[in-house]
Amino acid sequence: MSAVKGAGEVGGGITAPAESPVPFRNSSLIFRALRLWRTRIGAALVGALVLLAIIGPYVAPYGPSVPVGEPNSTPGGNAVLGTDYLGQDVLSRFLYGGRGILVMAVIATAIGLIVGVAIGLVAAYARNALDDVLMRGMDVIMAFPQIMLALVAVAVVGPQAWVIVVAIALTTVPRIARVARGAAQPVVERDFIACSEAMGVPRWRILFGELLPNTLGPLMVEASLRMTYSIGVIAALAFLGLAPDPNGANWGTMIQQNQIALSVQPWGAVMPIIAIALLTMGTGLIGDGIARTAAGIDRSRSAE
Amino acid sequence: MRRLTSGGVPGFVARRLLLGIVVLVMVSIVVFAATQALPGDPAQAILGRSATPASLAALRRQLHLDQPVLEQYWSWLSGLLRGNLGSSLAAQEPVTTLLGPKLVNSAVLVAVSAVVSIPLSVAIGCWAALKREKIFDSVSSILLLALAALPEFVVAVVLVILLATIVFHVLPAISTIPPGSQPWDNIPALILPCLTLVIAVAPYVARIMRASMIEVLESDYVEMARLKGLPERTVLLRHALPNALGPVFQVIALNLAYLAGGIVVVEYVFNYSGIGSALQDAVVNHDLPVVQALAMLIAAVYVVLNLLADVATIMVTPKLRTRL
Amino acid sequence: MSAAVSVENLRIEIAATGTPVVSDVSFAIAPGEILGLVGESGSGKTTVGLALLGHARRGLRIAGGSVLLGDRDVLTQDEEERRKLRGSAVSYVPQDPASSLNPALRIGLQLREVLDAHDSGGARDYSARIAEMMRAVALPDDRAFLKRYPHELSGGQQQRIGLAMAFANRPRLIVLDEPTTGLDVTTQAHVLSTVRELAALHDVAALYVSHDLAVVAALARRVAVMYAGRVVELGPADAMFASAGHPYTRRLIGAIPRLTGGRSLVGIPGRALSPGKRPGGCGFAPRCDLRIGQCEQEMPELRPIDTDHMVRCIRAELVMTQDPGKAGEPVEMPAADDAEVPALRITDLVASYGRHEVVHSVSLALAARECLALVGESGSGKTTIARAVAGLHHAWTGAIALDGAELHPSARNRGGDARRRIQYIFQNPYGSLNPRRTVGQIVAQPLKIFGTAGGREADKRVAEMLERVSLSSGYARRYPDQLSGGERQRVAIARALVCDPTVLICDEVTSALDVSVQAAIVELLGSLQRDLGLSMLFITHNLPLVRSIAQRVAVLSQGRIVEAGEVGQVLAHPSQPYTRQLLSDTPSLETASTDVSLDEPPAETFGK
């Protein structure tokens, strides 16, 4: 809403709908998104796998490193899904294998989310040199693909859990910051923000009380996308042999360890593949569902 | 200096280049800090617990760890600029000779994947936008969503299962390149790795293309073009497509840069001799000089790609051009 | 003489549900004639305009009726046939020229393609024709100009390109969809005269769609008024404006600000209902003060009440004898006290955007309890001045004093009291309310910030304020998305007034609203200003509107005050050429029928 317009234009051409459409309740985005089939399926998948990962260790028939039979034997006898390359029970390792990945992914994404949103909102609101400086900083971190930074960190310190979490959180920050800034910029231009400024509302209050709630849509979509990638990268690191506990049960590690024996005993690799695939597809579906709902709301708000 | 602050497109390119260089310098600081200034003893990490004090001291001298940090940084950076990337600790040969052929291999892989995936994803995105809400769109939308979410190593392994080992046996499961030969000597071996990379990147670009195209198709000027009675082909090719492509360039650049990370996993699965698998080896062996060199290389690639994407966007958007 | 276009029983529905959006629309336009199609938002006028090209926007479907161009029915043609008609037999001039031109193509190319698409002779040299087209719309015809991109043209120039493209192939019919919205008054006047000339020159029939009755009156000889998807009145413009037959038309005319006659405006209570929610029976009945039982039971037919004058109302004869209502009454303005310290004094204000100075040493005084109007076109600096007073624009020098006490450029650095006493109402009702807060929370916000009231006391004040702006207290629980534009502005007004400010700044607060809503809001503001003794700075580009609310007016041009004084005085006897030009370029119902040249208007047209 700049006050200086080109000569010959006035009023900004704002059109008024005859009657306001779709009532929009506060924080209902998730609930409305859940009305879509895809969001429900995604939520179901994620829910099921998270449950599996959390409860798994409690219901596993054996420990994760207990030999129960001949290596690479097919299902039968002690092992419902057969054994892996060391003779350990595939089912048990599978049930133990999700926790590590999920916990690390959730923590990394959460940290990245909090820091990234803060930076993005501040940059969008500042609209001056601070914005430039922050975004250049983000560019520097963005110059690395996520897995690269994790690899570099692991190269130095070793594949410890905190290293991986920090590396992924760090690479998540700029990506979220960019989205947060992009979502906040149009909101910053709107008059209700100017109104609060004229009344002297403190800056931090405007940022988190007025700006943030109006950018939730794109942020939630990006958060689920980031979660998908965090899970992917952590599992990939495990696949490359860089899990915190190289011999522990971990879906990524299991795939790597058992892929050689695929033709003989597929379950050792197939189970974790299915799990990771369903988990990432689930988070992807949730994100897409939210995106569609938000787009639908925007569309009906500006209709006719 | 004045040419830099204005000066149209060349000025813009110059400014972006300068910015890119600044970013690369900062990246070098980050890389250096990550590898050599972290707490803990790199020499210890490399040689492991069983190292003798003498060998640790020797390694530290070799890595210049006994010098002040800034001097270490400077010697590394100046070496970098002169083309001396250090020596691989594991292979005891200069990094450049070690990585040279591997770089070529990886470049071929990425180039082929890009050449296939970009036109494909643009085409899919456009078609889905044109046939919006119809069968092609709904089916491709779900399919692309699922493929975009899967991590590359899962895609790679599944492709191997499907096409090489269990279900069908049409393609080789391993794509090793014997030293001395070129990647294009064994085309079938390239197919699966490229396919994996294409699947890693194309869905995301296709979805962005679709969104951009839909927005453009609903714009006032496309409606106006139709109301002027222009043939539909003209409307699509002259009015819709160029405006839809603008925002997509940056996404393409971002995804190509993403490929640089993706090749790590893909080369590992297919045993492809490129810089991705070299990086993985170096990490496992704590081969710091190689790690540093590769990190800088990939960062440089990213910066260049972004610059190209920015320039391309400017070329397609006259509004931005005249503001320069 | 056969009609250039004849529309019969046009019906357009929402494709998915079959709900009618436009029904039973019939009219005819003779060659060389301009028919005005008037309606407020949601009336369906744009939809009708597009239907004449056989085009329906996404989600809509043309369900019935016929559009005869000569002897061909556009609606029965297949897509390829329709494509050939568009741009050649019937063309369209869009509302927003900036977004209707492809930003990535040079304008020369965009002009050429409309010739190329309909030229059966193959590729020819169009340069001569393009040059001719450009001259016809008073644009430069040299190649350098044609190489420009749309964003390098002004709004007026962009719209002329639109006109050039529309007239290029000498169509039978042109549909103009509010082509002067967003243009300032002077540019608008030029565009309108161009339209008039070209239509007469090429014997083209034109449908001029607009919400602005005054503009339509200046241009069209016949007018059709639409409400809720139907034509409610159709007839000669002067007859209709002198004495309308439909209650809606009458109320609409009463809502238009005038340069002569009475000052107060009368809005129409309630709001137009969207398709699917419209009642059976007459669409306007819920808001009509002349309704009887029969009105709600069946839809009236469009029937003739005079030669060539048709009305869709069973009580049309009664309506025509009605008094126009309170529009004739002058408004009592309380006397401003000269001895008092002015509520606001601006001294030598110089404001800039970056390095660009936009306000050049402006000095103003706003007396207590007075309403001062700041009038100017875009770029005149009026909004910059307003924002500087509110502390939203920081880059200025000079002095702004509230009740004698100087103010800091930035609102944040002013005391709480100073911030409380100056309140601002924004132009865009769709951006000035936080969509994530309820109306009650929005109105209560100033109370919380300035600590004026809390808890239950705050709720009470909020309810009181909502009543004051004619919104029931039930509105407090609603969200802005559920409100219409007019209702949102009322909420904004309530928010501004809840803390008892001294100075109220209204920045083009009605520019985004329909005429009838604008009237209601202006009346509300006027009565509040008088009742509460507010000092008000009323910013607008709409000169006639000033009459209905302000005592004094200052006219701004390019960052300087060119004329200031009492409203009646300035409007009746403008002393500056700029003011005179502005007045004569402003379309109004009174001057429409008299042939006024672009010089000083006759003095007797403006009475007190």
Distance between CA B91 and CA B289 in Å, rounded? 11
Instruction: List, in order, residues 6 or more apart from C121 with CB less than 8 Å away.
Output: none
Q: Say yes or no to pLDDT of C523 above 80.
A: yes
pLDDT value at residue B275: 87
Edge-to-edge strand list for the sheet holding C34-38? C90-93, C173-177, C205-210, C34-38, C222-227, C230-236, C309-311, C303-306
| C residues 201-220 closer than 8 Å to A (CB) | none
The answer, for A155 touching chain B at a CB cutoff of 8 Å, is yes
* Chain C positions in Cβ-Cβ contact with residue A3 (cut-off 8 Å): 358, 381, 383-384, 387, 393
CB contact under 8 A, B154 and A273: yes
Q: Say yes or no to pLDDT of A127 above 60.
A: yes
The answer, for A246 touching chain B at a CB cutoff of 8 Å, is no
What is the pLDDT confidence band of residue A206, given thresholds at 50, 70 and 90? very high
pLDDT value at residue C594: 43
Return the partners of chain C (3 or more C-beta pairs < 8 Å).
Answer: A, B
Condensed to tens digits (0 to 9), the pLDDT of residues C561-587 reads 999 999 888 988 999 999 999 888 888
Lowest-confidence pick of A78-82, A286-290, B93-97 = B93-97
Which of B219, B226, B229 is the closest to C84 by Cβ? B229
Which of B220, B231, B234 is the closest to C99 by Cβ? B220
* Chain B positions in Cβ-Cβ contact with residue C103 (cut-off 8 Å): 221, 243, 317-319
Distance between CA C305 and CA C312 in Å, rounded? 10
Edge-to-edge strand list for the sheet holding C535-540? C422-425, C503-507, C535-540, C371-375, C552-557, C560-566
Q: Is C560 left (phi over 0), alpha (psi -120 to 50) or beta?
A: beta
CB contact under 8 A, C103 and B316: no
Q: Cα C67 vs. chain centroid, distance in angstroms? A: 29
Lowest-confidence pick of A196-205, A231-240, B37-46 = B37-46
Q: Which two tokens stand for residue C441?
A: 């929370």
CB contact under 8 A, B302 and A144: yes
Tell me the residue ranges of DSSP E strands in B2-65: none
Q: Say yes or no to pLDDT of A212 above 90.
A: yes
Which of C187, C428, C481 is the closest to A8 by Cβ? C187
Which of C53, C99, C104 is the closest to B227 by Cβ? C53
**Torsion sign across C-alpha atoms C405, C406, C409, C412:** negative
The answer, for C431 touching chain A at a CB cutoff of 8 Å, is yes
pLDDT value at residue C325: 52
Q: Give the residue on A whose Cα is nearest the Cα of C358.
A: A4
CB contact under 8 A, C103 and B234: no
Number of Cα atoms under 13 Å in the Cβ half of residue B232: 5
| B residues 287-316 closer than 8 Å to C (CB) | 316
Return the partners of chain B (3 or more C-beta pairs < 8 Å).
Answer: A, C
Closest CA to C166 of C84, C87, C112: C87
Condensed to tens digits (0 to 9), the pLDDT of residues C241-254 reads 888 889 999 888 88
3 state SS of C551: coil
3 state SS of C414: coil
Which of A23, A191, A213 is the closest to C481 by Cβ? A23
pLDDT (average), residues C302-319:
88
Lowest-confidence pick of A2-16, C52-66, C430-444, C506-520 = A2-16
Distance between CA B241 and CA C369 in Å, rounded? 58
Which of A154-158, B4-8, C512-516 is modeled with the greatest confidence?
C512-516
Which of B88, B210, B283, B292 has the highest number of chain A CBs within 10 A, making it the mutation to test binding with A?
A: B283
pLDDT value at residue C494: 95
The answer, for A242 touching chain B at a CB cutoff of 8 Å, is yes
CB contact under 8 A, C427 and A1: yes
CB contact under 8 A, A288 and B145: yes
Q: Say yes or no to pLDDT of C142 above 90.
A: no
The answer, for A140 touching chain C at a CB cutoff of 8 Å, is no
pLDDT value at residue A169: 96
pLDDT value at residue B13: 81
* Chain B positions in Cβ-Cβ contact with residue A152 (cut-off 8 Å): 31, 34-35, 283, 291, 295
Domain A26-299 grouped into CATH 1.10.1040.10: no
Condensed to tens digits (0 to 9), the pLDDT of residues C32-88 reads 899 999 998 888 999 999 999 999 998 899 999 999 998 889 999 899 999 999 988
Residue that is written with structure tokens 């009219």 in the block: C27
Distance between CA B197 and CA B107 in Å, rounded? 13
Closest CA to C493 of C455, C452, C536, C450: C536
Which of C378, C390, C482 is the closest to A20 by Cβ? C482
pLDDT value at residue C603: 34
Q: Give the residue on A whose Cα is nearest the Cα of B43.
A: A156
The answer, for A209 touching chain C at a CB cutoff of 8 Å, is no
What is the pLDDT confidence band of residue A77, given thresholds at 50, 70 and 90? confident
3 state SS of C396: strand
**Tally: H helices and E strands in chain C:** 23, 22
CB contact under 8 A, A136 and B149: no
CB contact under 8 A, B228 and C113: yes
End-to-end CA separation in angstroms for chain C? 45
Does A118 or A36 have the greater pLDDT score? A118
Which of C184, C387, C432 is the closest to A8 by Cβ? C184
Tens digit of each residue's pLDDT, chain B (324 residues): 444 455 667 777 888 888 888 888 888 887 877 776 555 566 666 666 677 788 777 777 776 666 777 777 777 777 777 777 677 766 667 777 778 888 888 888 889 999 999 999 999 999 999 988 888 888 888 899 999 999 999 999 999 888 877 777 777 777 777 777 777 777 888 888 999 999 989 998 999 999 999 999 999 999 999 999 999 999 999 999 989 988 888 888 888 888 888 888 999 888 888 888 888 888 877 777 888 888 888 888 888 888 888 888 888 777 777 765
Closest CA to C325 of C571, C569, C469, C523: C523
Condensed to tens digits (0 to 9), the pLDDT of residues C476-511 reads 999 998 888 899 999 999 999 999 999 999 999 988
Q: Which two tokens stand for residue B114?
A: 């890009």
* Chain C positions in Cβ-Cβ contact with residue A197 (cut-off 8 Å): 392, 411-412
| Alpha-carbon torsion, ordered A250, A254, A256, A261, to 10 deg | 180
Q: Residue C60, class by beta-carbon neighbours within 10 Å (0-12 exposed, 13-18 middle, 19+ buried)?
A: buried
The answer, for B237 touching chain A at a CB cutoff of 8 Å, is no
**Minimal C-alpha gap between B202 and chain C (Å):** 26
Could you tell me the pTM of the whole model?
0.85
Residue that is written with structure tokens 């509460």 in the block: C532
pLDDT (average), residues C193-202:
89
pLDDT value at residue C330: 54
**Minimal C-alpha gap between B220 and chain C (Å):** 5
* Chain C positions in Cβ-Cβ contact with residue A190 (cut-off 8 Å): 428, 431-432
The answer, for A289 touching chain B at a CB cutoff of 8 Å, is no
Distance between CA B156 and CA B195 in Å, rounded? 9
- Does the ipTM exceed 0.85? no
Beta bridge partners of C540: C375
* Chain C positions in Cβ-Cβ contact with residue B219 (cut-off 8 Å): 99
Mode of pairing for the β-strands spanning C72-73 and C60-69? antiparallel
pLDDT value at residue C465: 92
The answer, for A133 touching chain B at a CB cutoff of 8 Å, is no
CB contact under 8 A, B226 and C99: no
The answer, for B237 touching chain C at a CB cutoff of 8 Å, is no
**Minimal C-alpha gap between B153 and chain A (Å):** 6
Condensed to tens digits (0 to 9), the pLDDT of residues C356-369 reads 889 999 999 998 88
Q: Give the residue on A whose Cα is nearest the Cα of B276.
A: A148
CA angle B11, B17, B23 (to 5 degrees): 140
What is the pLDDT confidence band of residue C354, given thresholds at 50, 70 and 90? confident
**Minimal C-alpha gap between A248 and chain C (Å):** 47
Instruction: List, in order, residues 6 or more apart from B26 with CB less than 8 Å away.
Output: A140
pLDDT value at residue B15: 81
The answer, for B30 touching chain A at a CB cutoff of 8 Å, is yes
